[in-house]
Structure 1
Amino acid sequence: MKKKTLVLGASLNENRYSNIAIKRLRGKEVPVVAIGLRVGVVADVTIATEKVDFKDINTVTLYLNPTRQVAYYNYIISLKPKRVIFNPGTENMDFIKLLKENNIESEIACTLVLLSTNQY
């Protein structure tokens, strides 16, 4: 089964890495859900603006700076993902510690690199 992924910090701007990540994930047929500041569609993925109770999330890939992540700590933990990917600029040791305490793996990596090297 493909690793259903939540892109958190999704953008409609085609120059943003979160937007590119959604397209690349969908290109590899990974099921994707997304939350961002504005409602819209990237590839075939509708971006929500609220904390939706998504089911069966394997991976959360973060495109939010550490300060903005705080509001999502409990939400992400409640989704019970297998792992959280901290993309460049999102590294957050406080959150990584909290994830570990909740038996959720964390990875400081780039989703785009993981996809391009078949390590996703």
Structure 2
Amino acid sequence: MSDKLTLIVGATTNPGRYAYFAASRLADAGIPFIPIGIKSGEVFGEKILDIRTKPELKSIHTITLYLGPVNQQEWIDYLIGLKPKRIIFNPGTENPVFFEKAKAQGIEVLPACTLVMLGSGQY
């Protein structure tokens, strides 16, 4: 069991989406995760939290993003305020403004793919 509690931003119950694959792979790897987004439901035993309520979350190690830059704007300050150690910007989610804001707060910024990182032991 890892202590890298991961927040999956843009979580979904749609098995065709990369955020769903990430939840599956994290669950298989024994890495605890919290799914959050605007869709309701449950993935791999975890209830998807409603990001619109900006829930107070503690001890987030990693945020993995599955929201495009246009949809990130409203949540940037909230996500940075969770004080993660790192944010993984999956392909298509790269956002220079978010990068710089996160870096300024001492957060590691990775333009990478969570699925590749998990599959190659780099997570």
- Shared fold per TM-score greater than 0.5: yes
- Give 1:119's aligned residue: 122
TM-score (norm 1): 0.96
Letter in 2 for 1:119: Q
Distance across 2 between alignment mates of 1:91 and 1:85: 9
1:79-103 deviations in Å (ceiling 9; x for gaps): 0000000000000011101111111
Q: Does 1:94 align with 2:118?
A: no
Q: Does 1:73 align with 2:76?
A: yes
Question: Could you tell me the percent identity over the aligned residues?
Answer: 45
1:5-46 deviations in Å (ceiling 9; x for gaps): 000000110000000100100110111001122211111111
The counterpart of 1:103, out of the listed 77, 101, 106, is: 106
Measure how far apart 1:48 and its partner are. 1.0
Q: Is the 1:57–1:79 Cα contact (8 Å) retained in structure 2?
A: yes
- Give 2:5's aligned residue: 4
Distance across 2 between alignment mates of 1:97 and 1:43: 33
Distance across 2 between alignment mates of 1:54 and 1:24: 22
Unaligned runs of 5+ in 1: none
Measure how far apart 1:2 and its partner are. 2.2
Distance across 2 between alignment mates of 1:26 and 1:44: 9
Residues matched between the structures, number: 120
CA RMSD of aligned residues (A): 0.9
Letter in 2 for 1:79: L
Distance across 2 between alignment mates of 1:44 and 1:116: 22
- Give 1:34's aligned residue: 35
TM-score (norm 2): 0.94
